[in-house]
Amino acid sequence: MRAKRLIVWAIPLGIVAVAAYGYWQGTPLDVVNAVRRGDLETVKHTFARDPALVHTKVYPQGYERVDQQRDYQARTGESAWQGRWLIHDAAGRGEGAVPMLDLLAGAGADLTVRLSGRTLLHLAARDGNLEVATWLLDHGLHANLRNDCTERCDEAGQTALHDAQTIHADDMSALLLRRGAEVDAVAQNGRTPLHLAARAGQLGGAFVLCRHGADPTRRDIQGQSPYDLVLAPGHPRDPGRVTTDQLDQLAAWLKPEGGCGRVAATARATGAPVADDAARVVFAETVRR
């Protein structure tokens, strides 16, 4: 009888004890939410109580509502769980992410983690986040690391410079090239960053790449040059992102014997990027024709 009473009391006391321990130590959900809020003090205190939480895996199915999971899928095109870690959430915060990255790196976060084959630098380049990309380069991520995805992955072998041809392509490309990115890095599908700039309608990115010597005559494994991709059926023509006029200018810039080829040849011959002003003169001549 006495043993039964002890059991009756032991169960609720155990639950309370576990809850109290979790409250005191901080839970993975606590630290995930704190990182997403940019709450440095809470993250510091949580790590002080349990340093291992710096390696928290972010399981959306456990920590996010269904609508948040759907939003993540809509924004990234990736399924809810793709191996995200706490450092991914910190790097993805956008403006003002560096203090949180400093905190996580100081606590031992692994900066070499990947998400569907992409490094943190690939992701920052894709998001057009110059601040985070600069921080990552300063902390040892090499500009020429390759996407190592395997199964049914069109991005295999791409560098961050490939991924940069999305948002703020001109500034991101310039940053990566200054930090040693290979201008004509070839992915497994044979495409260079200039191919991706052409496919995305990124005139600014294509301009910077050509100034640094990108070869507009290279062809992918399907035999297509960057110029071919500008003209290809189904090219993105979102008026809010790429105008028809921009695509026409991009086609004129990349066409055979066009301005890109002239500028890139000069860059390769001199071993240095062509000055912005000089390249713009050639661009203006190209577009007027």
Report whether pLDDT(15) > 90.
no
pLDDT at 208: 98
List, in order, residues 6 or more apart from 163 with CB less than 8 Å away.
118, 122, 123, 125, 126, 147, 155
- Average pLDDT, rounded, for the chain: 85
pLDDT of 245 reads: 85
* Cβ-contact 162, 193 below 8 angstroms: yes
Query: Residue 84 — pLDDT band, cuts 50, 70, 90?
Result: confident
* pLDDT recorded at residue 13: 39
Work out the average pLDDT over 47-58: 91
pTM: 0.82
Among 43-47, 83-87, 180-184, the minimum mean pLDDT is found in 83-87
User: Per residue in 101-139, pLDDT tens?
Assistant: 999 999 999 999 998 899 999 999 999 999 999 999 999
**pLDDT recorded at residue 256:** 92
pLDDT, tens digit, 9 for 90 and up, residues 207-227: 999 999 999 999 999 999 999
Among 79-88, 94-103, 106-115, name the one with the lowest average pLDDT. Answer: 79-88
Q: Which domains, and CATH codes, for the chain?
A: 25-110 (no CATH), 159-289 (1.25.40.20)
Burial class (CB in 10 A: 0-12, 13-18, 19+), 144: middle
Here the tokens at position 144 are 């020429």
Kind of pairing between the strands at 118-119 and 114-115:
antiparallel
Which residue type sits at 95?
Answer: E
pLDDT attached to residue 107: 96
| pLDDT confidence of residue 233 | 74
Please give the average per-residue pLDDT across 88-93, as a whole number: 92
Least confident of 67-71, 164-168, 182-186, 187-191: 67-71
